[in-house]
Amino acid sequence: MRAIQKLERAPGLKLTDIPKPDCGLTDVVIQVKHAGVCGTDLHIADWDEWAQSRIKPPIVVGHEFAGEIVEIGQDVGDAFHIGQRVTAEGHIVSGHTRQSRTGQGHVCPTTQIIGVDRDGAFAEFIAMPASNVMRLGDISTVMGAIMDPMGNAFHTVLTAEIPGSTVLVLGCGPIGCFAVGVARAAGAARVFAADLNPRRLELAGDMGAHVCIDVTREDVVHRVMDETKSEGVDVVCEMSGHPVAIRQGLECARPGGRVQFLGIPQHEVPIRVANDVIFKGLTLYGVVGRKMFETWYQMRSFIESGLFDPSPVITHTFPMEQIDDALRTIRSGEAGKVILEIGGTA
Ligand code: ZN
């Protein structure tokens, strides 16, 4: 089968021909139709510090995908059938740790991520533990392919109390834009979105942000305080990982408010713990992956009911041969979500 691999401990990705994966007793094999390209794939392609410390080539990259079941392991039972359209949670956990057994599988210490720690989804076929697989129902494989990053946004937003609240989203990459849409769908009274890229702010507006703040032109804290009668917002979603945004996020949260951290800073970030966290009584929440599998069911219901539509964020589609163009498009900052066509258009 054709696959996109990291072959060497050096920059670049290669289109290769490798054997189709075997179907384990508790696995299903999925023919991948569409896959999402993500910042993580960019880090792996560029072979940055993080990639050097984590990735062990050769490995098939890619972790966001959807497709059709073509093979079912002997011990899977009758939960799935051949030809069924599915996606899958890309974090694979042992199921035996305290976390996995108490509804916190998303922070399980045994987590292996497809396309990072084991072979991933930029390939014509992928074998997945059946317990990680989610039926798509009427959802398309294009949309199914981005349920992983959408799930990050659902996890970020829905673990806060949203109905009637004010929400600030800092960083409007695809997950930030999804977060704007989820906050609107969940009944936020007012959603603020901030970024330094005008194209991304436009997408945040398309997803329903009431106020888009260009941080190259105005101070986020001033604007948010202006708009909230100096109260601050109920919920901050920090999606950028930028040290300045992290500090601004803590400042913009109202006393008693909540700050959800998803953006990953490259280095340590100094914050004013006394004034900006303790005396304000803030709740800080670190967002890892998607809750297994609560987030998936919430997300499916929001999408199927039409409450949430991610389509404006999908800006580009490339055939898998053009992975380098896909990566270049993401680097340009002009893209929302970029999709790879792997096995046709079904
Ligand atoms: Zn991703």
Q: Which two tokens stand for residue 184?
A: 């609107």
- Beta strand 59-60 with 2-6: parallel, antiparallel or unpaired? antiparallel
Are residue 32 and residue 134 in the same domain, yes or no? yes
Residue of 136, 189, 152 whose CA lies nearest to 40: 152
Residues 120 and 114: beta-carbon distance below 8 Å? yes
305 within some domain: no
* Active-site annotation holder among 16, 26, 43, 316: 43
Are residue 124 and residue 210 in the same domain, yes or no? no
Q: Distance, CA 150 to ligand 1 centroid (Å)?
A: 9
58 within some domain: yes
Active site residue 295: no
* Active-site annotation holder among 34, 40, 63, 106: 40
Q: Distance, CA 64 to ligand 1 centroid (Å)?
A: 6
255: CATH: 3.40.50.720
292 within some domain: no
Active site residue 43: yes
Q: Distance, CA 50 to ligand 1 centroid (Å)?
A: 15
Beta bridge partners of 316: 338
Total structural domains in the chain? 2
112 within some domain: yes
Are residue 84 and residue 130 in the same domain, yes or no? yes
Are residue 56 and residue 136 in the same domain, yes or no? yes
Q: Distance, CA 149 to ligand 1 centroid (Å)?
A: 5
219 within some domain: yes
Rg of the chain over CA atoms, in angstroms?
20
What CA–CA distance (Å, rounded) separates 188 from 36? 28
- Beta strand 85-88 with 64-72: parallel, antiparallel or unpaired? antiparallel
175 within some domain: yes
Helix (H) or strand (E) holding 317: strand 314-319
53: CATH: 3.90.180.10
Structural domain for 19, as ranges = 2-146+310-341
Q: Distance, CA 226 to ligand 1 centroid (Å)?
A: 35
68 within some domain: yes
Are residue 229 and residue 100 in the same domain, yes or no? no
Residue of 324, 323, 329 whose CA lies nearest to 123: 323
Q: Distance, CA 39 to ligand 1 centroid (Å)?
A: 6
For each of the chain's 346 residues, which pLDDT tens digit applies? 999 999 999 999 999 999 999 999 999 999 999 999 999 999 999 999 999 999 999 999 999 999 999 999 999 999 999 999 999 999 999 999 999 999 999 999 999 999 999 999 999 999 999 999 999 999 999 999 999 999 999 999 999 999 999 999 999 999 999 999 999 999 999 999 999 999 999 999 999 999 999 999 999 999 999 999 999 999 999 999 999 999 999 999 999 999 999 999 999 999 999 999 999 999 999 999 999 999 999 999 999 999 999 999 999 999 999 999 999 999 999 999 999 999 854 4
